[in-house]
Structure 1
Amino acid sequence: MARPLIADIDLDALRHNYCLARDQAPHSRAVAVIKADAYGHGALACARALEGLAPAFAVACLEEAEVLREGGITAPIVLLEGIFEAVELERVEALGLWMAVHTDWQLEALLAYRPVCPIPVWVKVDSGMHRLGFSPAQAGAVWARLAAAPDRACDLHLMSHFATADALDPGYFRRQLALLDDLALRLEAPTCLANSPATLAWPEAHGAWNRPGVMLYGSDPLEASNELSRRLSPVMTLRSEIIAVRELAAGEPVGYAGRWRAPRPSRIGVVACGYGDGYDRHAVDGTPVLVNGQRTGIAGKVSMDMLTVDLTEIPEADIGSEVVLWGRAANGALLSVDEVGRHCDTISYTLLSGVLPRVPRRYHGPD
């Protein structure tokens, strides 16, 4: 019998979430962001599920795009970080990719390259995130040079990234957006600005393209949920089983360093899942799990291959009982990956993308 840990991937939920993003911005096109192996969900399977819905996909790098092309995905693919070496332009052209340009050497490499067909380019501007991008003062000259080289670059768009679109305080977001709106107006440039939180909460940021990412996988990226984000459906359910049960007297410790001690006579269930599978080792005692669809909590430190949960209030739980680490239980009960992330002092992005390859993915929904 196989180890019972499975990542169930609901492709119908993925399509539902994509349609939510698309329908929220009917005058924009939504590029489906499937970088980092679709946030741990399997990029090729997710791309195939979204074919016919998403007009384009976005990945971080050339290697991620190659996986999609080799798997038969023909839709446009945007390289969000562009190229890392000038020699990659040959593959960009051969695979028919679009690319971001965010720094001087990328610009010079592209302008020196002689493609058979010009390459669609998204010019990235640093509007306040301060990671990648040309300064607003540089952007006009960069845009003009690319526009004057239609044999090298085509279908130019202005791109940026919001640092605080998820936050309750809109001040910094509005400052970024005002800068970008002014720049786009001066350049007469179509834009791609809205990430997941801006797609959900800031229609004024919707441009020619939006970039929904984590919301596609059912995670709510907003500090305060809104009506739309509450309609997101979880795509991944990380599911395992109880593989052993221990009866402990009051005061007995559990796990490494005995962090958790039984406050009363207790039943402890051992679950086949640990940090060697990608479950966060920083989960505190009480981090929620569902056992047979009922909420309980982690008791003791997470081990490499196992973790332990308190079954005292679930007397019917036993070896073979379903355990949901996040996602939807067989009885329909839901445990949000966002809630689990808060207990681990992290975010859903790290939990979802951190599920390791030894955890089998089991896909449901469109082929």
Structure 2
Amino acid sequence: MQRAASIRLDPDALRHNLALARGLAPGVGMWPVIKAEGYGHGLEWTARTLAEDADGLAVSAVEEAEALRGAGYDGPLLVLQGPRDAAGVRRCAELALQPALHARFQLDALAQAGVVLPEVWVKFNTGMNRLGFVPGEADRVEHALRSAGHGGQGLHWMTHMACADDPADDHNAAQLAAFRSIVAGRDGARSVANSAALFAGWGRGDGHGADEAFRARPGIMLYGCHPASVPADTPPEGPDADLRPVMTVQAPVIGIQHPAPGDGVGYGATWTAHGGERIGIVAMGYADGYPRHAPTGTPVRVRGQLCPLVGRVSMDMLAVDLSGVPEAGVGDLATLWGEGLPVERVARAAGTIGYELLTRVAGRLRPA
């Protein structure tokens, strides 16, 4: 059952943000990452919106790629976690997917599947310590793949940066150097840059090998959220880099309360009125994807002004102090994040990151 709360998606903003990513790394192929239901925006909607402007798309799992092929997307598809078993390998072959291989069990699955994959990515762990072959395995992995006929149309190389959101972190230089050493003298495309690495200027790794084919994997920036985490006290927000919010989440004010001095609002009465406040009740709660742990003071936008959330977030309601917006009333729309209220600001108030808010919005919300 869908709620009065709504999500409005802006396709022009999504395409604008991809164009901005291209501007950060001219000549580098752009493969937008649309995993996790397009960061909460809808897998198929995001793919349709970006299909004509992207060089390819990247998803997390084979199942996401299957959904896109079923929806009619026939462009290049990178599967970041690769296949889990021989059946997954066969699906990669059937659907013309480009899987990223990161572990020995996947090489075994390729041998069991009895198919040949024309394009394959090999992922190396250069310091993220999440997925990837260790650098010393590069020769063995390449030999195993080439001897079995895989990668005839392209055997490609990738890694993932752990600290690119803080470009000054020494970890970055170590990872870039390790990857440069791994891929030296090898044919195929390279991929290093996520959104944060693009902003750091590493669309082509650390600038070495400028003649090689590089592909970037922009993710969060496409949806209007800035990837940088520094400075820690006031990190940049999307509008600071001309990133435009793609998702705007809104819900109506459905009630007005006038608590007396000393009255509490919401569960636990964690916020107490001084007297004279106008409290708006908004039809949005944690069941809709709004963070339950958002504290009093978290901004909500009503009639173009930022108003503080007060008290605890309920399952499908929250309270906002509308005292500074006397003209606001029942029926007005409150913006929880999006146009006019960067998602990073709400996430920071709630002690989380914009990624989590975007990907958690529940299916109860109706399209605007």
Give TM-score, length-normalised by structure 2.
0.92
Q: How does 1:232-247 map to 2 (within 5 A)?
A: 232-247=243-258
Q: Does 1:261 align with 2:260?
A: no
What SS class does the counterpart of residue 146 from structure 1 fall into?
helix
Q: Distance in 1 between matches of 2:218 and 2:149?
A: 29
Q: How does 1:71-90 map to 2 (within 5 A)?
A: 71-90=71-90
Q: Distance in 1 between matches of 2:324 and 2:98?
A: 54
Aligned-pair CA distance for 1:240: 1.1
Report if aligned partners of 1:200, 1:228 keep a CA contact under 8 Å in 2: no
Aligned-pair CA distance for 1:143: 1.7
The aligned counterpart of 1:331 is none
Query: Structure 2 vs 1, CA of residues 227 and 41 (structure 1 numbering), >3 Å: closer, same or farther?
Result: closer
Structure 1 residue corresponding to 2:307, chosen from 280, 296, 302: 296
Q: Distance in 2 between matches of 1:144 and 1:28?
A: 27
Aligned-pair CA distance for 1:111: 3.4
Q: Distance in 2 between matches of 1:151 and 1:307?
A: 54
Report if aligned partners of 2:32, 2:57 keep a CA contact under 8 Å in 1: yes
Q: Distance in 1 between matches of 2:274 and 2:93?
A: 64
Aligned-pair CA distance for 1:19: 1.0
Q: Distance in 1 between matches of 2:315 and 2:50?
A: 34
Aligned-pair CA distance for 1:27: 2.2
Q: Distance in 2 between matches of 1:64 and 1:167?
A: 30
Structure 2 residue corresponding to 1:307, chosen from 294, 308, 318: 318
The aligned counterpart of 1:355 is 361
Q: Distance in 2 between matches of 1:320 and 1:159?
A: 50
Q: Does 1:210 align with 2:209?
A: no
Q: Distance in 2 between matches of 1:59 and 1:140?
A: 27
Counterpart code for 2:98 = W
Report if aligned partners of 1:5, 1:273 keep a CA contact under 8 Å in 2: yes
Counterpart code for 2:81 = E
Report if aligned partners of 1:126, 1:134 keep a CA contact under 8 Å in 2: yes
Report if aligned partners of 1:250, 1:266 keep a CA contact under 8 Å in 2: no
Q: Does 1:31 align with 2:42?
A: no
> What CA deviation, in whole Å up to 9, does each residue of 1:326-357 have, x standing for no partner?
011xxxxx111011111111101110000011
The aligned counterpart of 1:43 is 43
What SS class does the counterpart of residue 197 from structure 1 fall into?
helix
Report if aligned partners of 2:167, 2:200 keep a CA contact under 8 Å in 1: no
Q: Does 1:170 align with 2:155?
A: no
Q: Does 1:283 align with 2:294?
A: yes
The aligned counterpart of 1:193 is 192
Report if aligned partners of 1:113, 1:152 keep a CA contact under 8 Å in 2: no
Q: Please, which moves more after superposition, 343-352 or 201-210?
A: 201-210
What SS class does the counterpart of residue 22 from structure 1 fall into?
helix
The aligned counterpart of 1:365 is none
Report if aligned partners of 2:226, 2:237 keep a CA contact under 8 Å in 1: no
What SS class does the counterpart of residue 278 from structure 2 fall into?
strand
> What CA deviation, in whole Å up to 9, does each residue of 1:115-160 have, x standing for no partner?
2x63311101001010100001112211222133325664111111
Query: Structure 2 vs 1, CA of residues 340 and 228 (structure 1 numbering), >3 Å: closer, same or farther?
Result: closer
RMSD value, Cα: 1.9
The aligned counterpart of 1:321 is 332
Report if aligned partners of 1:269, 1:309 keep a CA contact under 8 Å in 2: yes
Q: Distance in 2 between matches of 1:93 and 1:125?
A: 22
The aligned counterpart of 2:144 is 145
Q: Which runs of 5+ in 1 are unaligned?
A: 329-333, 363-367
The aligned counterpart of 1:103 is 103
Q: Which runs of 5+ in 2 are unaligned?
A: 207-212, 231-235
